[in-house]
Amino acid sequence: MTRAAAVPLERLHRFNHSFAPRLEHGQLDPDGIRGVRVTGYLSDESGWGAAGRGYASALRQLRVPMRIHDLSALTTNRSEDDNLVRRDTTADTDVNLVCVDAGRHFALLSKVGDSFFAGHYNIGAWAWELPHFPDSWYNRFAYYDEIWVTTSFIAAALTPISPVPVVRIPPVVSATRGSRLRGRRRLNVDYGTFVFAFMFDVHSHLTRKNPNAIIAAFRRAFPHRKDVRLVLKSLNGAADPDGYRELRDLAAGAPIDFYDEAWPAQEVHDLMAACDAYASLHRSEGTGLTIAEAMACGKPVITTDWSGNTDFADISNSFPVAYELATVGSNAGPYRAGETWAEPDVEHAAWLMRQVVDDSSLAARRGQAARRRMRRDFSEEAVAALVHQRLDAIRCRNRLGVLRRTMSAFTEHRDVNDPNE
């Protein structure tokens, strides 16, 4: 609650008791939030599952009473992350934080019903990966009082068309703790081998994740060297067997390894520790969470210089790849033909790959700058500070509504009783 709103409101209450505010059904108590019900894919081993858990950890950092509502059963991913397996700290909530992508809204609704939203201030935490939000999803806004997004790229897509506030609350990103030795043993690489890595989920669509470009860049960068290796760690390759077979064909004969299976979280952390650099030549990312995680671990990152990852990856702390904007050629899941995304420059990416391998000092400097940036702006404490500001603004927003009605009533009362008016 800011003094700008509080002072005139308190003055009116002190001298005009008949204008004391009355809270409406579903409105927040102006003196505080009773509790937040966090709903989402909270045990799901995916980027959006991690984002939901990150928001919950920020609320826990603030000691906000919470109720955890896991809907990971709505997804087809493995859901064995138990970081939020804790007892609820309250059953009394007046804020919903719904970390379910907009495309799955009606699956959520069929699970929880309309009553789920009643009596709450409803926040939708949404992700999206292209500059234009789908027209067919506009009706989802009707259920929410505001939308949280992780990057300014998503905010730019939603803000022009959203009837409710769109607020950027970045994800919590922490350095993972893995064993480099154990990871390299898992990959069967020796001490002197330089390892590039990329992790992706085929459910997120191969055309968008664009591992083909990484393979092409790697082959151009190192046509004859055997002391450099590319590791592609994926999930759900069976979802696009033809596309995945094409990847393997493109990689044939090169030191490129594929691992298409679900690994325990610790083995994924070991992979991040084992690699020497991370590459993502995506066509678009709403956030780019694995890029952020690699940066948090101090890895030099080579990444397309477009979309959500530009909130944190730039020339000072990574190796941005040039691109040209291109038209989406054919439908891929929710991404419609005719939309816009980036086509990364494979030659430039190959040049950067060689630079990272050959200039270890530069690679290390940018990796350390990346680590500092992620600690400063994406730590649990940093995100918690933004969440605190936003919850305070939500309380203020409700008080300002009361203030407007009170001022209107006060003005009408004065006009009726003041003979000089």
Q: Which domain holds residue 261?
A: 180-378
Mean pLDDT of 31-58: 85
Query: Quick one: pLDDT at residue 43?
Result: 80
Q: What is the pTM of this model?
A: 0.87
User: Which one has a higher pLDDT value, 36 or 85?
Assistant: 36
Report the distance separating Cα 128 and Cα 152, nearest Å: 11
Same domain, 245 and 369: yes
Report the distance separating Cα 304 and Cα 263, nearest Å: 26
Is the Cβ–Cβ distance between 121 and 95 less than 8 Å? yes
Query: Quick one: pLDDT at residue 76?
Result: 66
CATH of the domain at 353: 3.40.50.2000
Give domain status of residue 418, yes or no: no
Q: What are phi and psi of 256, to 5 degrees?
A: -125, 125
Query: Quick one: pLDDT at residue 136?
Result: 95
Same domain, 146 and 102: yes
pLDDT band at 46 (very low <50, low <70, confident <90, very high): confident
Query: Quick one: pLDDT at residue 5?
Result: 43
DSSP 344-366: E-HHHHHHHHHHHHH-HHHHHHH
Report the distance separating Cα 299 and Cα 365, nearest Å: 10
Report the distance separating Cα 118 and Cα 25, nearest Å: 9
CA distances from 362 to 278, 300, 366 (A): 15, 9, 6
Same domain, 166 and 227: no
Same domain, 209 and 349: yes
Q: Which of 301, 312, 295, 308 shows the shortest CA–CA distance to 349?
A: 301
Give domain status of residue 8, yes or no: no
Same domain, 271 and 359: yes
Is the Cβ–Cβ distance between 271 and 197 less than 8 Å? yes
User: Which one has a higher pLDDT value, 312 or 413?
Assistant: 312
Lowest mean pLDDT among 130-144, 272-286, 386-400, 405-419: 405-419
Report the distance separating Cα 164 and Cα 147, nearest Å: 7
Same domain, 314 and 357: yes
Query: Quick one: pLDDT at residue 228?
Result: 98
Same domain, 241 and 131: no
Give domain status of residue 239, yes or no: yes
Same domain, 188 and 124: no
For the chain, give the mean pLDDT.
88
- Write out pLDDT tens, residues 223-274: 999 999 999 999 999 999 999 999 999 999 999 999 999 999 999 999 999 9
Give domain status of residue 223, yes or no: yes
The residues facing 323 across adjacent strands are 344
- Write out pLDDT tens, residues 139-180: 999 999 999 999 999 999 999 999 999 999 999 999 999 999
Percent of the chain with pLDDT over 70: 85
Give domain status of residue 17, yes or no: no
Query: Quick one: pLDDT at residue 86?
Result: 62
Percent of the chain with pLDDT over 90: 76
Mean pLDDT of 84-95: 75
Structural domains counted in the chain: 2
CATH of the domain at 95: 3.40.50
Lowest mean pLDDT among 14-23, 177-186, 226-235, 340-349: 14-23
The residues facing 3 across adjacent strands are none
Give domain status of residue 241, yes or no: yes
Give domain status of residue 292, yes or no: yes
pLDDT band at 7 (very low <50, low <70, confident <90, very high): very low
- Write out pLDDT tens, residues 47-85: 778 889 999 999 999 999 999 998 877 776 665 556 665
Q: What are phi and psi of 52, to 5 degrees?
A: -60, -45
Query: Quick one: pLDDT at residue 44?
Result: 79
Give domain status of residue 247, yes or no: yes
Same domain, 184 and 312: yes
Same domain, 369 and 399: no
Sign of the CA dihedral running 201, 203, 204, 209: positive
Same domain, 264 and 312: yes
Same domain, 54 and 133: yes
**Whose structure tokens read 């000089």?**
420
pLDDT band at 12 (very low <50, low <70, confident <90, very high): very low
- Write out pLDDT tens, residues 355-404: 999 999 999 999 999 999 999 999 999 999 999 999 998 888 766 666 67
